[in-house]
Structure 1
Amino acid sequence: MISWTGIGVPMMVLIPNLLWLLFPPTNAPAVEEVDEPVGLMILERAGQFGVTIIPLFYPVILDDAASSFYLIAMLLLLIVYYAGWFRFFQRGRNYSLLFLPLWRIPIPMAVSPVLYFVLSAGLLKSFPMFLAALLLASGHLAISYREYRRIIRFLS
């Protein structure tokens, strides 16, 4: 059975990504310039699939202090994530802004949603969600860090 409250968990992260599809970066590298190892891409995609689908089967129930903690921490991470998107759109959709630090947070557009999904496993009380978030973390953080390093070399 589909959980209508659980749907909100991935949607909060996916909504800004829909804007990215409509208004992509102005200076993204060509596909052949991006060197993403296949293994990391597989981990990232499997994690993305998991953190998007698994919450559909787990309701959000605020029945204890831990649930409230997870929810508040997730909301704080969403603020960081949305601030990164705001910076990206406000500064002309410059590709590098998707990877450069924000408020001293390294690769904030990768770190904040990954931590959000890790915490969502606690909120949803779902071990499969935790595993999916770990898959996402292992692929997405590594790929984003590699891209950050490429950008830093290019800017130097």
Structure 2
Amino acid sequence: MRNYGLQFSLTGLLLYALQLLPNIIWMLVPPTNNVLTGNSSAYKTLNIIEGLFGVLTVILMVVLINKGEGNNSNFYIRLAVLFLAAYYISWVFYYNGVVAPWLLILGIACMPPLYFFFVGLWMKNYVLLVPCAIFGITHILITCMNYLRP
């Protein structure tokens, strides 16, 4: 923790805003078949864990800076961009009426945590990885519980 400091990161905020863009559009102009409005768990504890660790992930991305030396790996940011692109493409499919479970789980639920995870690696913000993983697991679990029913 010696290499970390609390400081506002414009880069972290911009990278978060890129992920948030489809959600803002979704709130302002919902699609016709908007099945994601009900994507919360019947178990309040899972909703709390998902929300808490999602917010913690974003806060750590925006205000916790690794002051250690060394270059950021372009490999990690390229993977993050790949996951963000897949997320955007998934939203395009969703807006075009594709609401298949594979799209909701793989495209819309899995991509944001993977994006945040690789942004964290790129920023060398290793503290962010633990809450991000917990957020990702609960986010995907809730989506699976809602859309993989027989």
Report the CA distance shift for 1:144/1:125 in structure 2 as closer, same or farther (over 3 A).
Answer: same
* Cα deviation, residue 111, structure 1: 0.8
Identity over aligned pairs, percent: 25
**What's the counterpart of residue 43 of structure 2?**
37
For residues 13 and 41 of structure 2, what CA distance do their matches in structure 1 show? 33
TM-score, normalised to structure 2's length? 0.79
Report the CA distance shift for 1:56/1:32 in structure 2 as closer, same or farther (over 3 A).
Answer: closer
**What's the counterpart of residue 124 of structure 1?**
123
**Partner amino acid for 2:20?**
L
* Cα deviation, residue 49, structure 1: 0.4
* 1:100 aligns to 2:85 (yes or no): no
In the alignment, is the contact (CA less than 8 A) between 1:100 and 1:108 conserved in 2? no
* 1:115 aligns to 2:114 (yes or no): yes
**Partner amino acid for 2:63?**
F
* Cα deviation, residue 51, structure 1: 2.1
Report the CA distance shift for 1:27/1:130 in structure 2 as closer, same or farther (over 3 A).
Answer: same
* Cα deviation, residue 26, structure 1: 2.9
> Which range is displaced more, 126-135 or 108-117?
126-135
**What's the counterpart of residue 82 of structure 1?**
88
* Cα deviation, residue 35, structure 1: 4.6
Matches within 5 A, 1:1-156: 1-28=7-34, 35-58=41-64, 64=71, 67-89=73-95, 91=96, 94=97, 97=99, 100-102=101-103, 106-150=105-149, 153=150
Q: Which runs of 5+ in 1 are unaligned?
A: none
* Cα deviation, residue 2, structure 1: 1.1
Q: Which runs of 5+ in 2 are unaligned?
A: 1-6
* Cα deviation, residue 106, structure 1: 4.8
* Cα deviation, residue 30, structure 1: 10
TM-score, normalised to structure 1's length? 0.76
**What's the counterpart of residue 4 of structure 2?**
none
Number of positions where the alignment pairs a residue of Structure 1 with one of Structure 2: 142
1:12-54, Cα deviation, whole Å (9 max, x unpaired) = 1111100010122434469889653112111110122012211
